[in-house]
A and B are shown apart, each in its own frame.
Chain A
Amino acid sequence: MSQSQTEKKRSKNALIMTLLKGRTLIVLVILIIYFGLASPTFLTAGSLLLIAKHVALYGILGIGMTYVIITGGIDLSVGSIVGLSGIVAGGLINEGLTLNMFGVTIYFSIPTIVLIAMLCGALIGFINGWIITKFNVAPFIATLGMMYMARGFAMLRSKGATFSSITGKPGLGNTGIEFFGRNVGGIPVGAIILLIIALIAGIILKKTPFGWHILAIGGNQKAAKLSGVKVDKAKLLVYMFSGVCAAIVGIITASQLVAAHPASGETWEMNAIAATVLGGTSMSGGVGTIGGTIIGAFVIGVINDGLVMLGVSEFWQMVIKGVVIILAVIIDQFQRNLQAKIALQARES
């Protein structure tokens, strides 16, 4: 091959690469334009706010999931943690904590309750990580088991019932949970929380040793270990983080509904995984960005709500979502092959 031909091929590859890297964003823009043209209500403030509310939930779950998947794992328990943490918070608001031995019932303030719910998520994440690292259980299995357990505990706590109107009582000093479902300056609080968590998680991933360590673990666990990375500790922290993210989503969900339902968050782990994968995180680990996951969450949210607004049946929505996810992974594979080819080209020259 002549010099100029090689050059041409290389610049063509580089162009394809750029398009591939930005593919989710391109898809998002196309979707928004399409739905905007197809449905007159889609690009109104009201529906955009609704989408943002939904995206916040998938996005926050997706951020935790991204960390987990980057280490080469998976967390199927996040949906159940959403339900459990909501129930824990709702129960504490409506019924308080009864200490039988003292014959008293304690009511906590909302900040304390939020903290307790988050600790709850952290604890479940810790147990996930502990089972995975200590007993060498595959993450899929460990978190599958935890998915059932956490859901079961949520049901047990409320006996399957819903804690409704969890507004608290001024006399007990536990009002204000609705805050997390409201808008501040026209923006849903959930979306603001998403933004804050995304910023922190993104910075940790790219700017701290911990972030690079988890990228290394997913890329080559053995090499990471031999480089002195504390693999087990890092994994433990990652599953705890995912648990905390899920607990936060649980609070926001309960707050948006002003009710805590034990079945809430069912199958949301799938939306979180979908957002992560759409965002370019590799299921085999080592590659992924928080920004990508956020865009992925928007794609999922826009498809969901856009199709609803177009009046597409719920069943077709499922089919379309499935097609989009599989296509995303196929393109991902294509990108990886191309990347390897480009690397080899660089090596030859």
Chain B
Amino acid sequence: MDNNVKTKNDVCLHAEKVSKIYPGTKALDDVSFDVLTGKVNVLIGENGAGKSTLMKIIAGIEQPSSGKIFMGDEEVTFKDPKDARKYGIGIIHQELSLFPNLNVFQNIFMAKEKTKGKFSLDNQAHMEAANRILEKLEHPIDVNTLIGDLRVGQQQMIEIARNLIQDDLKILIMDEPTSSLSQQEVDVLFKLMRELTAEGISIVYISHRLEEIMRIGDHVTIFRDGKFVADDDVKNIDIPWIVHQMVGEGKSYPKKERNIDWKKRDSVLQVKELTLPKSGGGYLLDKVSFDLKKGEILGIYGLMGAGRTEVFECIMGLRPEHTGTVILEDKVLNVKNISEQIERGFAIVPEDRQREGMVQTMDIGKNISLSSLKNYLKGIFLDNKKENENVDEQIKDIHIKVADKRLPILSLSGGNQQKVVIGKGMLTNPKILLMDEPSRGIDIGAKTEVFDIIHQYAERGLSIIVVSSELKEIVAIADRVVVLSNGKKTGEFMGDEIKEDSLVLASYHGHHAH
């Protein structure tokens, strides 16, 4: 793995063959990783590549299924973040983990309180230390301000300050710290990072902004599908190399060839200038237009926060504040609420299966029939026979491996749970199926099956939109791909134009370090 010289002295933390297995999926697969002392160690990879998982393990938030972590010659195990903090490891999360109901110094010293005597809080010391650290960060903020009243960028600074308060900080992990910062704040942050590394603190830096990485990074490590792919010093590499390594050439899912002249097909759905304002200014979606042909699989690709899921939310009526036109089969729709949209022939397979897709308290069969119960009525009562027939047929159609449909839904594997959610949508006989990250959190085998299902339904004439942040997935299944970046449509690709590199480039459009 090594063509650049690393001696033991350069490495302040070494992860040896770490794996993390979640039910149904392997998030990290035998990964070894070095944190170089006093460097900005950049970690990069697609969503789901395992970056955040590894960082959580190093910070003690998650425990590895197998593998070891060394600091110096000592093997260390972290039961919880407090353990990791004892060894000087701090983490700044992708999602802020502050207490909006408490003020700045309370947040900074949470669980690290200083006391006069044993019990009495020494707020004077808290305030002084907080002021000192904020000055160092060039962000003088009144330390009595409530966190909830601060801008997101300022909150990010508090999150950083919280880690710096630690005297013996050795490693600082930053998971996409710049995603909500202004350019000025990014400059301050980078300056600070330089100061920290000059003091000998090692930084692990996760980011999607490639230009930023070239600017601030010292050493880059690339992950893909939970595996280590490559690493090198920043001075030896360029952006195309990174993209190439992220995307890889290895296995991809078999592409289903479809010889259809899409120009001759009618549009089922037209979306024109879909716009969704963001609370606090700006747009989550900015005049996004696209159409969907009958039997087509349209992919929507973009990074996190690009507006992918919001497109679905608008179409399903979950965002009544949106503007723009939605036309279903030449009829302009007034999109108001979701049950109406389902009656009109839309069905959605949500992004988060556990939180939005299934009802954990219900059995498998009821989870499948939930959306279409009205179709199985005899008088005012449910006709069990009719319901069971439809459910059984769907289970067969979609190959759900189930011993008994009266078992709880949680007894199924992730892949089969996902098929249940898809089956539920299909039982409403939709014209248009919206799938948000349909293969998230399921293993490779199940993924392929889900792709086959999508393909089959499209062949039968169902029009499908698939939102995905997984390149290989979208390349394998989509007939056409729309790329979103920062709420804008930045590319549309058809047939042979659908290449991983071009999708990635379009998705970073507007993500440059201004």
Contacts and interface: CB of A to CB of B under 8 A. Distances in A.
Interface of A: 203, 207-209, 212-213, 215-216, 218-220, 222-230, 282, 285-287, 339-340, 343-344, 346-347
Q: Is the interface of A mostly helix, strand, loop or mixed?
A: helix
B359 A346 contact: no
Contacts of A226: 316, 338, 348, 350, 356-357
Q: What secondary structure prevails in chain B residues at the interface with A?
A: mixed
Nearest to B362: A219
Interface stretch (B108-116, B170-178, B390-398, B407-415): B407-415
26 contacts: A203-B381, A207-B381, A207-B382, A208-B381, A209-B373, A209-B374, A209-B382, A215-B361, A216-B362, A218-B361, A219-B359, A220-B355, A222-B355, A223-B350, A223-B355, A228-B338, A229-B339, A229-B370, A230-B339, A282-B361, A286-B360, A286-B361, A287-B361, A340-B410, A346-B403, A346-B411
Interface in B312-353: 316, 338-339, 342-343, 348, 350
Given A208-B380, A216-B359, 4 more contacts: A219-B362, A339-B408, A344-B411, A347-B412
Contacts of B410: 340, 343-344, 347
Contact of A225 (B338, B374, B382, B407): B338
B339 A223 contact: no
B359 A286 contact: yes
Nearest to B352: A222
The 10 A-B pairs at the shortest CB distance, nearest first, are namely: A286-B361, A219-B361, A219-B359, A228-B342, A209-B373, A346-B411, A343-B411, A227-B371, A220-B359, A228-B339
A281 B377 CA distance: 27
Which of B339, B361, B366 counts the most A-chain CB atoms under 10 A from its CB?
A: B361
Contacts of A339: 408
A171 to B, nearest CB: 43
B411 A347 contact: yes
Contacts of A230: 339
A228 B343 CA distance: 8
A223 B358 contact: yes
A339 B410 CA distance: 10
Interface in B386-438: 403, 407-408, 410-413, 424, 428
Nearest to B342: A228
A212 B370 contact: yes
Nearest to A285: B361
A40 to B, nearest CB: 45
B382 A208 contact: yes
B424 A227 contact: yes
Nearest to B316: A226
A95 B412 CA distance: 63
A220 B358 contact: yes
B416 to A, nearest CB: 9
Contacts of B407: 343, 346
A343 B366 contact: no
B22 to A, nearest CB: 13
Contacts, number: 88
Contacts of B366: 212, 215-216
B427 to A, nearest CB: 10
A346 B402 CA distance: 10
A228 B382 contact: no
B424 to A, nearest CB: 6
Contacts of B316: 226
Interface string B365-386: 0100011011001001110000
A215 B362 contact: yes
A163 to B, nearest CB: 39
A223 B371 CA distance: 10
A171 B47 CA distance: 81
A52 to B, nearest CB: 30
B157 to A, nearest CB: 32
A281 to B, nearest CB: 11
A199 to B, nearest CB: 13
Contacts of B408: 339, 343
Contacts of A347: 23, 410-413
Nearest to A288: B361
Most chain B beta-carbon neighbours within 10 Å: one of A213, A287, A347? A347
Contact of A223 (B356, B411, B428): B356
A285 B360 CA distance: 11
Interface in B226-260: none
B360 A222 contact: no
A286 to B, nearest CB: 3
Nearest to A339: B408
Interface in B33-92: none
Contacts of A223: 350, 355-359
Nearest to B356: A222
B338 A224 contact: no
A285 B424 CA distance: 22
A228 B350 CA distance: 13
Nearest to A233: B339
Most buried by B among A208, A213, A226: A226
A228 B428 contact: yes
Contact of B377 (A203, A209, A340): A209
A223 B356 CA distance: 4
Nearest to A220: B359
A216 B366 CA distance: 9
B362 A213 contact: no
A23 B1 CA distance: 61
